[in-house]
Amino acid sequence: LVWRSAQSIVTPYVIEVDNAGQVRAVGEAATPYKPSDAQIAYHLGRFIGLVRSLSIDPIVVRQNWLDAYDYTTDKGAVVLNEYARTNDPFARIGKESVTVQVSSVTRASDTSFNVRWTETRFVNGALDRTERWNAVVSTVLQTPRTEQRLRKNPLGIYVNGLSWSRELEGNEGAKP
């Protein structure tokens, strides 16, 4: 009993707010709470922006990556680790910057989403190129059980698998 009373248990609440900032609904999160597709789309778009964008500021890059890991399962973190190992974002700081504009996030199946975005790359401050990208992201929902998890990922949306690729332009890959 003493041990149990020393444990910190968080009860998540869901607060819905309308466009004007007025509270529409408040209540204890149902078990399990099921975020809407729009809520999942927002978080997946943010996740892609955190990982794929590249600031000229190393502190921003570091924080973006730390924040991205708050949205991954262990399996999703393995994918990020591999990407960072082969495409070290910190090696490009100061030479290159990348902005990300997410254009769509659509449900592909019960647990996966298709994310499309445009990356604009700058080298030494000058526009280098613009590319379109596509990802299939598998997600899992896990209700936050600690205060720290609740603060970092309140809806419990986690990236469990990730596969992305650059979209070919109309003339790329065409036979001569």
For residue 46, give the CATH number of its domain: 3.10.450.230
The residue ranking higher by pLDDT, 149 or 107, is 107
Q: What pLDDT, on the 0 to 100 scale, is given for residue 23?
A: 66
Task: Measure the CA–CA gap between 26 and 47, rounded to whole angstroms.
Answer: 26
Q: Count other C-beta atoms under 10 Å from residue 62's C-beta.
A: 14
- The residues, any chain, with a CB within 8 Å of residue 43's CB and separated by 6 or more, are 35, 71, 153, 155, 157
Q: Does some domain include residue 64?
A: yes
pLDDT in tens, 80-109: 999 999 999 999 999 999 999 999 999 999
The pTM is what? 0.80
Q: Does some domain include residue 18?
A: no
pLDDT in tens, 28-40: 665 566 899 999 9
Q: What pLDDT, on the 0 to 100 scale, is given for residue 5?
A: 61
Domain that holds residue 68: 31-166
Q: Does some domain include residue 8?
A: no
The residue ranking higher by pLDDT, 88 or 24, is 88
Q: Does some domain include residue 35?
A: yes
CB 141 within 8 A of CB 34: yes
CA distances from 35 to 4, 30, 113 (A): 30, 11, 14
The residue ranking higher by pLDDT, 98 or 155, is 98
Q: Does some domain include residue 2?
A: no
**In the chain, % of residues over pLDDT 70:** 81
Domain count, the chain: 1
Task: Measure the CA–CA gap between 74 and 60, rounded to whole angstroms.
Answer: 23
Q: Does some domain include residue 23?
A: no
Q: Does some domain include residue 50?
A: yes
Q: Does some domain include residue 26?
A: no
